[in-house]
Chain A
């Protein structure tokens, strides 16, 4: 394997957000996924690789919710697929109860799958249109005949429908007869059927209407508390993630750039990207319009096929200096905060990490760089435009 740029060394104590968090249920170490770029049809030549996920590490305890936020293309969906073994990682391990599941196959893999399930983003494509709701939710029992005796399956499907707040009478309906929010409930019921311990939810509410989103979030919270589920909740909506998560990881171009409890990330962000992201979120409060200072990032996210050297955020960062192009910042508690108390002292992958409370005016940074970003490190360029 490659050199581990380990995020959270396991012994480092984290305040248990929930009572009773023994060993992590899921332990991810140095997860990496490269998609090779090839050219030519007959003689394929590898011309490079898209670094979708690059050395991601985290742990997930029982009943805990880890939120992963990032913009489109940052690799958060790939993380979801790796966790539920829909893709095999290029490097790294995913340990479930101590066992590395990335190398499993066949029967052993099937057994692990019972415990790690997934909820998909699009409620319109994640249900087979040719199957009834009963068949969709009952399919887990057919695949794992040990999970429920044959005669009992129908009853359990009805109970699952009831658990997710749908009328059990709808068991013979087809997915296209339901609205988006109802379909997402069906998807959740399917994920719940085998009593998993971990549910990986990839943008589960982003396709839903505002008033229905809250219903589904509430449902997921209720199920977590009732069945002791652990979630990996992946979303681009920072408000939703804050609402449901115990811990949050901010992802940028395939890497976690900052991790911590929701308070640490949202009240005391130390990574510039997190700060910019938070400041950009519109708050539904017109009164905040004047108070708020926004950090406007210049340009766009670079291509993951050709990420910048050193710190990947440096092309859009107002603090970038020469060292950022040369040295990859490790995801660890920044030197400046070592020994300090928790809210600020949390892992952040920045050479110049500092707190920037949101109520304090931030440097307004509108540097108009070309979309690809400057090639050199560029000086600390505040207040470009």
Chain B
């Protein structure tokens, strides 16, 4: 029998009213409306009147309106939705706003982003304008952090160094999250051989020691921009996110609401984008935020080893590297960039923690 999406039951007997949407003039309760019973929904608890109409045939009344009392407005609806619609995201946001850890770290990160975009706001000195004559001198008016070996202003270099770190951190995290999230998500959703291939590949990349890999990779691919470093971090970082995303998708995929959508006839695209992804994205966000801090630290490490960013790019890692041998004569050269680096990494990790608390209260 052909059964297309057109009109249903072509040869059915004269249809009963079975279209809930169009053939129902009014809401119906089971059984006829009895005289004396109130129309549903219209039950303001008037203290001077019996709350229920018929005190005598109590049980009969109970049977009448199984749904009516749902809307009974009592000190808020009992058990029902109170107040405004609240999505899980808006709940998380409310939670975040009240978390002091989040406020502190967010302010710090905001500040970092601003000065990496417009360092001129707080610095007037050029970080590359150096005066060898002032090599390793301490602080003086206008140059609060003193000078490094080359005679460059440490304050200016510390502020300008934020740009490289933040750029590498954000770009690498975006790359890792996109690549890892998509790869892991698809693998988890479709499973099968694609999943097997991806998982083994991820294992291989996991096995590469980060520093050794960086020394090899970045001594081959060189450049003065941040991109080789970003590329390297993405290359080694994506398996971590892919694993998280795969696990989250595997969990979300099994949920009843995904089965329900499938039973309605939803295609894979809809299932993935509408049902699975929104419910699997939270752990990815959390891990990515925490990873951002570690990527900044990784960039500094690579730069320290001389394979990351190269001069004339200003970077905390380079400055720390230059300052390390001079730690006895001029500790300020090391302390300021190292302090800035630690604070930045800490800020992102704290942010990640706060986000995790807000997105998944069960983890607490």
Contact = CB atoms under 8 A, between A and B. Distances in A.
Interface of A: 20, 22, 62, 81, 84-86, 96-99, 107-115, 117-118, 120-122, 125-132, 139-140, 142-144, 146, 148, 155-156, 159-160, 162-167, 170, 172-174, 176-179, 182, 185, 187, 190, 192-195, 197, 214-215, 218-219, 221-223, 226-229
Contacts, number: 175
B24 to A, nearest CB: 6
20 contacts: A97-B3, A99-B1, A109-B265, A110-B265, A114-B5, A118-B259, A125-B255, A127-B260, A128-B278, A129-B88, A129-B279, A132-B87, A146-B6, A179-B79, A192-B20, A194-B264, A215-B66, A221-B30, A226-B18, A228-B16
The 3 tightest CB contacts between A and B, nearest first, are: A165-B67, A227-B18, A126-B256
A127 B258 CA distance: 9
A62 to B, nearest CB: 8
Contact of B259 (A86, A162, A194): A86
B67 A160 contact: no
Contacts of A98: 1
Contacts of A144: 5, 264-265
Which one of A114, A195, A215 has the highest number of Cβ atoms from chain B below 10 Å of its Cβ?
A: A195
A139 B261 contact: yes
Interface of B: 1, 3-6, 8-9, 12-13, 15-22, 24, 27-30, 41, 63, 66-68, 70-71, 79-82, 85-89, 255-257, 259-266, 270, 274-275, 278-279
A182 B85 contact: no
Contacts of A218: 30, 63, 66
A194 B8 CA distance: 10
Given A120-B259, A163-B24, A177-B81, A143 B18 contact: no
B279 A130 contact: yes
Given A162-B27, A226-B17, A122 B256 contact: yes
Nearest to B87: A174
B3 A143 contact: no
A108 B3 contact: yes
Contact of A195 (B19, B70, B81, B89): B19
Nearest to A95: B1
A65 B232 CA distance: 62
A160 B79 CA distance: 21
A144 B279 CA distance: 23
